[in-house]
Chain A
């Protein structure tokens, strides 16, 4: 009988939210592939895909269909179970992170408050770190199970790179957490609301510019994006860990990269740029005149705009900066970013202590 005591409305509401968030992530990732090709094209003075549908907008569906209808090859010498697990794991871990991101303030449906966040857990930041470190297993398992030299090399590169940059990323966030005093992403966003100068001064980027820079660089490395895409390095490793993959398994790997990009952009917007805070607008006043639902909706749009700007930044960097050499990558991670992050942490800690006195 205990089962019936479950708040079914809550389960239902969360289920709908999960479906919406997952579908939205997939849809955005789909169009990010299209945007990537367009951005690459305009940066290189070309036009980009413009044949499928108006302005080429159906191109991602054409790409997806093509991938699905390709022959799905599993190499004879590969470890079949792990070979199939790799891309699935990459995809799942990429999607899991979206669970703790607050997409907007709460909706008010007939007196029932529905927060636009799948799980407001009090260890949100820790959860993200846990899931992001799981992400390396997709690359690792996929590369190892392919039983191919290049794939294995790429998997090792990818794993060591992600582990190295996770340190600096974590330390840069510790400084931020000292300021906020909370690991819950919702609390972090709410603390950023209502600062001076149109609300912009409340954002964490003002207090942690160096921390943001370190986090940004590490996010590039964690997403395996250029200039840190050493684990796919076309010119050296023949596409690296997904070399032996074809059809939709390859699609999953490529897709996971774009979902990762979307989620880390949303995360950066949440942690450093006020999340669903609309700049130059006082949300509390607006909620009284327009009702909380419209404000929540506008908040979601504000977060998405910030996220899209970050995604554009990811692409812009990709088509500007060439790939690092492996020793340069390790040098940057261990000798530059970690000491910088440590210094940032110590200075922040000292300032916080001094101001509290």
Chain B
């Protein structure tokens, strides 16, 4: 019969020799192997202090985006909720008032926008469905918590900091706070 793989091995059914029956050489061999492992590189890392980098295509927690003037991009069209295979997204739309022009980019906005992180499977289909570049998946993941309700993220959890009103928070979220501060100092000296 032809072997399915080239890994097949003939079974060795020979009776054990005297040295094999003594077991001590075998034990010595095993102890050498474990001794070698003492000096090997550790498989684990010191987690909270050290973190492994994510892949560049990692999909983590969502953010709701703003435009350059700090206005929310979301128009509550509901395409993300429709695209979501896990039905994790809930939203309610509302009409923009006259005095809210600086808050929302379009005439309609999401008054309520919730993602249930326990339902979410982080597939990124909402990101692909959004016509307004309003929702993105980031490189962080949901921290542990005690209650289910704390995993339902509302607008305050999801919205990115306002680049106009909170420039420092915005730069920190981008991970470029130091660069931003240097720029500010350079501007002042000019």
Contact = CB atoms under 8 A, between A and B. Distances in A.
A282 interface: no
Nearest to B31: A320
A46 B30 contact: no
Nearest to B30: A320
Given A320-B27, A321-B27, A47 B42 contact: yes
Interface string A4-39: 000000000000000000000000000000000000
Contacts of A319: 34
B26 to A, nearest CB: 9
B34 A316 contact: yes
Query: Chain B CB within 10 Å — which of A45, A319, A320, A321 has the most?
Result: A320
B46 A43 contact: no
A317 interface: yes
Contacts of B35: 316
B37 A42 contact: yes
B102 interface: no
B43 interface: yes
Contacts of A43: 34, 37-38
A110 to B, nearest CB: 47
Interface residues of A, number: 12
Binding site secondary structure of chain A: loop
Contacts of B42: 42, 45-47
Centre residue among A45, A317, A319 by max chain B CB count within 10 A: A45
Nearest to A217: B24
Interface string A313-348: 000110111000000000000000000000000000
Interface in B5-19: none
B44 A47 contact: yes
25 contacts: A42-B38, A42-B42, A43-B37, A44-B37, A45-B37, A45-B40, A45-B42, A45-B43, A45-B44, A46-B42, A46-B44, A47-B42, A47-B44, A50-B46, A316-B31, A316-B34, A316-B35, A317-B27, A317-B31, A319-B34, A320-B27, A320-B33, A320-B34, A321-B27, A321-B30
A44 B40 CA distance: 9
Nearest to B43: A45
A45 B42 CA distance: 5
Interface string A105-138: 0000000000000000000000000000000000
A47 B40 CA distance: 11
Interface in A31-66: 42-47, 50
A316 B33 CA distance: 11
A46 B37 contact: no
B20 to A, nearest CB: 15
Contacts of B27: 317, 320-321
B103 to A, nearest CB: 46
B52 to A, nearest CB: 15
Nearest to B28: A320
A97 B41 CA distance: 40
Nearest to B36: A43
